[in-house]
């Protein structure tokens, strides 16, 4: 039976993406290959409990919620994540996968909606982006850029236009919480006339910004 190292499993309101506002179960897997300057989940780098795929799904079943997100850390670091994603889909869940964009997404179960968080220069991790992932994007997927400053914004716009990302799937833009005023990003988006979905990390406004398990 495949096993994974799991940091936490909880039930909350989806705070990001086009699914924002929907009740959602979250499975946060341990480990990350990146070290973003603004990371708010560093507690997932090492801490975790080994669980079988069946144990994880059993725990999610108890929430009686049809939407599930597998996140991290970087969930694609553990090969058994593919068994978990398949098991969740086979169980009838609508499954989201949030990944940092540095690892190959092509092997992910086609029923999964992937949210690919390509890293901007302000994260310190932009060199790790695996741009071949753009060619694997499909209906239901989304791409996200988290913007720290004007350099990040201009860099993102270049990729959105140059790589034709917004032709493949919706593109999300949000601010690094506490580093850039949302009104600034809103103004830049309007001035640039680009087809993106401006968003805030809603859970950081509903609960304490540093709260875990929400």
Tell me the C-alpha distance between 152 and 126, whole Å.
Answer: 10
Those residues whose C-beta lies under 8 Å from the C-beta of residue 48, and which sit 6 or more positions away, are 5, 6, 7, 29, 30, 31
74 is a contact residue toward ligand SF4 (CB under 6 A): yes
Select 73 or 87, whichever has its Cβ closest to ligand SF4: 73
36 is a contact residue toward ligand SF4 (CB under 6 A): yes
Distances (CA, A) of 153 to 60, 190, 204: 37, 12, 22
User: What pairing do the DSSP bridges indicate for beta strands 94-99 and 49-52?
Assistant: unpaired
- Going by C-alpha positions, the residue among 115, 119, 135 that lies closest to residue 127 is 119
186 is a contact residue toward ligand SF4 (CB under 6 A): no
201 is a contact residue toward ligand SF4 (CB under 6 A): no
Distances (CA, A) of 16 to 2, 21, 117: 29, 8, 11
User: Can you give the C-alpha Rg of the chain in angstroms?
Assistant: 17
Least distance (Å) between residue 16 CB and ligand SF4: 12
- Size of interface with ligand SF4, in residues (CB under 6 A): 10
The interface mask with ligand SF4, positions 135-154, x = CB under 6 A, is --------------------
Least distance (Å) between residue 10 CB and ligand SF4: 16
214 is a contact residue toward ligand SF4 (CB under 6 A): no
Select 77 or 87, whichever has its Cβ closest to ligand SF4: 77
39 is a contact residue toward ligand SF4 (CB under 6 A): yes
Select 7 or 25, whichever has its Cβ closest to ligand SF4: 7
Interface residues toward ligand SF4, by CB under 6 A = 32, 34-36, 39, 41, 72-74, 100
């Amino acid at each position: 039976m495949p096993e994974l190292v799991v940091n936490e499993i909880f039930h909350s309101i989806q705070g990001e993406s086009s699914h924002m506002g929907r009740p959602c179960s979250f499975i946060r897997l341990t480990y990350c290959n990146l070290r973003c300057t603004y990371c708010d989940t560093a507690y997932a780098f090492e801490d975790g409990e080994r669980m079988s795929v069946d144990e994880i799904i059993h725990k999610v079943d108890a929430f009686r919620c049809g939407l599930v997100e597998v996140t991290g850390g970087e969930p694609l670091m553990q090969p058994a994540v593919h068994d978990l994603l398949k098991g969740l889909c086979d169980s009838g869940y609508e499954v989201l996968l949030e990944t940092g964009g540095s690892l190959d997404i092509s092997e992910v179960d086609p029923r999964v909606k992937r949210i690919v968080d390509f890293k901007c220069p302000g994260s310190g991790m932009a060199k790790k982006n695996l741009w071949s992932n753009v060619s694997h994007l499909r209906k239901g997927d989304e791409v996200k850029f988290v913007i720290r400053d004007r350099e990040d914004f201009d860099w993102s716009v270049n990729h959105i236009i140059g790589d034709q990302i917004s032709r493949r799937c919706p593109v999300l833009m949000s601010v690094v919480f506490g580093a850039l005023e949302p009104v600034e990003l809103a103004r830049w988006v309007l001035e640039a006339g680009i087809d993106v979905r401006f968003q805030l990390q809603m859970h950081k406004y509903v609960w304490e910004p540093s709260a875990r398990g929400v």
